[in-house]
Amino acid sequence: MQLTGAEIVVECLKEQGVDTVFGYPGGTILNVYDALYKHSNEIRHILTSHEQGAAHAADGYARATGKTGVCLATSGPGATNLVTGIATAQMDSVPMVAITCNVTLPCLGKDSFQEVDIAGVTMPITKHGYIVKDITILADTLRKAFRIAKSGRPGPVLVDITKDVTAMLGEYEPAVPEPEQLPKSYTQEDIERVLQLIKEAKKPYIYVGGGTIISDAFPEVMEFAKKLDAPVCDTLMGKGAFDGNDPLYTGMIGMHGTKTSNLGVSSCDLLVALGARFSDRVVGDPKKFASNAKIVQIDIDAAEINKNIKTEASIVGDLKEVLSIVNKQMPQMEHMEWVAYIKDLKEKYPLNYNKEGLSCPFVMEELDRITKGDAIISTDVGQHQMWASQYYKYTRPRTFISSGGLGTMGYGLGACIGAKVGMPDKICVNIAGDGCFRMNMNELATASRYDIPIIQIVINNHVLGMVRQWQTLFYEGRYSQTVLKDKVDFCMVARGLGCEAIRVTSKEEVGPAIEKAISLKKPVLIECIIQEDDKVFPMVPAGSAIDEVFDEKDLAKSK
């Protein structure tokens, strides 16, 4: 059948099962928006306040649902405003398709109004990118984009379409999306080598990353841990990949990981990495990381094997598939002494914070209690992000949404909106510091426009907390440009943008504020005023061995 390019775009979105897109219109993409208008009963469009918000919302939607997120933008500044959101999705392996439209073909390369080579700009931060100048390849290109975004190790794909292609007529033939082909490059010998190391180990440790969530391998990871009888730590991206209340769970590993996880991994004789990439925030000094252990890595991306840490054995493949095979072939193991030793570490080094006065850890514990650990928590980046990862108990995958690899301040609010749109029956809460929140707080207008009942908690210490913490510990208290004691009133801003607002200044007010926010079923901001010098502990100095982890007591002793 004959359709315009814009209509083909919409038909391809429907083919892929897309029910929601996030974006902002402009001149070059007007034809696509006109086509969307005619299909508004099939595809919901969320108009964000800024294109970066659209990219983050598509990202949050994808992380919460497991589907591919979609965002739209016009040419020039509209497209470049997506860049940070695209890079965020790339670093955290999030399936996303960003559709932009460019100037007409005759105007390309002539510095035309709002012309930017967005495919070139985003080449290093996408899994793949296309510019479509021919309507005959438009449908197939969009189908490839969705297939690439979701297959193997997921990631963002950009499709840039010239405006004349969206206007001209072309032939469209409906197609059914091809089933995902999981890459398989491992052998039975690889499986047997890993099983051999498992059987030889006396002190095994399991280290889970974001790949476990992407693979939907939650049941297989639980079974593996029980059969191996080994303690489990996670990365920031791996939160919820293993039940945070399970006795075998020891908390996060790395720069702000627990003492138990950092000391335990440093003492183990076998470290099994599941869907984890050994980032610098996890390993610290790579020469000293898990130096007593043989390391096994299971990952879908062959490029991650031996990239940062040398392995003794590895399996390249989908984690869910690989673990289902390993679990069948692995005998029940028993490591009573080792597990008891780790249990003693947990009792000796529990997470702890100053209980006097209002603090972010207390807010997170109250949020966990009230929601019974069943909310979707998104965060921005900084101290609040670490506290949110430490003091809320994540028991299921896709319940913690945060920018791990890129560390994008201003990410969380858009992501929370996307998560709530994708999972409307879940309580969705974004935790932000005051520094992060002011970057994209305009997205509260998006939440109020559509009556999206998210809860935005601002942990306000009137400073850039994480940077200030480093300035305190490593820069002799020189607080260069980290003090935010200005005249901004976040509650007034929230009300001005159409949301409810509650200010909390004491511990007694936290629980009632959260309960009220949930009951209102509308977008609500809760501002929590905390001390400017609250710090995140434990901590490992950048580039140090993870067994050099210290907490507040250690810091006091060293003075």
Write down the pLDDT at residue 65.
Answer: 98
Residues 132, 17: one domain?
yes
- Residue 105 has, within 13 A of its CA and on its CB side, a CA count of 10
102: β partners:
162
Of 348, 378, 405, at which residue does a domain stop? 348
CATH of the domain at 210: 3.40.50.1220
- Residue 113 has phi, psi (to 5 degrees) of -60, 125
Residues 250-275: tens digit of each pLDDT: 999 999 999 999 999 999 999 999 99
Q: Catalytic amino acids?
A: 51, 113-114, 163, 466
Instruction: Quote the CA–CA distance of 175 and 146 in Å, as a whole number.
Output: 13
Question: Would residue 552 count as lying in a domain?
Answer: no
Q: Would you say 206 and 228 are in contact if contact means Cβ atoms under 8 Å apart?
A: yes
Instruction: Quote the CA–CA distance of 54 and 59 in Å, as a whole number.
Output: 9
Joined tokens for residue 403 = 């920018």
CATH of the domain at 406: 3.40.50.970
Question: Would residue 272 count as lying in a domain?
Answer: yes
Question: Would residue 161 count as lying in a domain?
Answer: yes
> What total number of domains does the chain contain?
3
Write down the pLDDT at residue 535.
Answer: 96
Element of type H or E holding 101: strand 96-102
Residues 252, 132: one domain?
no
Residues 88, 228: one domain?
no
Question: Would residue 278 count as lying in a domain?
Answer: yes
Write down the pLDDT at residue 559.
Answer: 67
Q: How far is CA 187 from its chain centroid?
A: 31
Residues 301, 372: one domain?
no
Residues 115, 193: one domain?
no
Joined tokens for residue 241 = 């990949």
How big is the CA angle at 171 (ends 165 and 173), to the nearest 5 degrees?
A: 120
CA distances from 112 to 89, 107, 108, 133, 193 (A): 29, 6, 7, 16, 59
Q: Is 473 helix (H, G, I), strand (E, B) or coil?
A: helix
> Closest Cα to residue 58, out of 5, 121, 100, 114?
100
SS3 content of the chain, % helix, strand, coil (to 5): 45, 20, 40
**Alpha helix positions (H), 441-551:** 444-449, 465-474, 490-496, 507-520
Q: What is the 3-state secondary structure (H, E, C) of 186-212?
A: CCHHHHHHHHHHHHHCCCEEEEECHHH
Residues 372, 404: one domain?
yes
State the Cα torsion 224-227-229-234 to the nearest 10°. 10
Instruction: Quote the CA–CA distance of 440 and 409 in Å, as a whole number.
Output: 9
Instruction: Quote the CA–CA distance of 101 and 200 in Å, as a whole number.
Output: 57
Question: Would residue 550 count as lying in a domain?
Answer: no
Sheet (strand 500-504) strand order: 400-401, 376-379, 428-433, 455-460, 524-529, 500-504
List the chain pLDDT tens, one digit each, 559 residues: 999 999 999 999 999 999 999 999 999 999 999 999 999 999 999 999 999 999 999 999 999 999 999 999 999 999 999 999 999 999 999 999 999 999 999 999 999 999 999 999 999 999 999 999 999 999 999 999 999 999 999 999 999 999 999 999 999 999 999 887 777 789 999 999 999 999 999 999 999 999 999 999 999 999 999 999 999 999 999 999 999 999 999 999 999 999 999 999 999 999 999 999 999 999 999 999 999 999 999 999 999 999 999 999 999 999 999 999 999 999 999 999 999 999 999 999 999 999 999 999 999 999 999 999 999 999 999 999 999 999 999 999 999 999 999 999 999 999 999 999 999 999 999 999 999 999 999 999 999 999 999 999 999 999 999 999 999 999 999 999 999 988 999 999 999 999 999 999 999 999 999 999 999 999 999 999 999 999 999 999 999 999 999 998 888 887 6
| DSSP state letter for 284 | B
Give the amino acid at 222. Answer: M
Contacts of 235 (CB under 8 A, 6+ apart): 207, 208, 209, 210, 252, 253, 254, 276, 279, 282, 404
Question: Would residue 75 count as lying in a domain?
Answer: yes
Parent domain of 325: 188-348
Residues 339, 221: one domain?
yes
Residues 335, 371: one domain?
no
Contacts of 541 (CB under 8 A, 6+ apart): 473, 474, 548
How big is the CA angle at 282 (ends 194 and 277), to the nearest 5 degrees?
A: 50
Concatenated DSSP letters of 53-95: HHHHHHHHHHHHHSS-EEEEE-STHHHHTTHHHHHHHHHTT--
Question: Would residue 510 count as lying in a domain?
Answer: yes
> Closest Cα to residue 46, out of 413, 423, 450?
450
Q: Is 407 helix (H, G, I), strand (E, B) or coil?
A: coil
Residues 161, 227: one domain?
no
Residues 74, 9: one domain?
yes
Question: Would residue 551 count as lying in a domain?
Answer: no
Instruction: Quote the CA–CA distance of 207 and 237 in Å, as a whole number.
Output: 12
Exposed e or buried b per residue across 391-413, where buried means at least 16 C-beta atoms within 10 angstroms of its C-beta? bbbbbebbbbbbbbbbbbbbbbb
Residues 339, 393: one domain?
no
Residues 206, 288: one domain?
yes
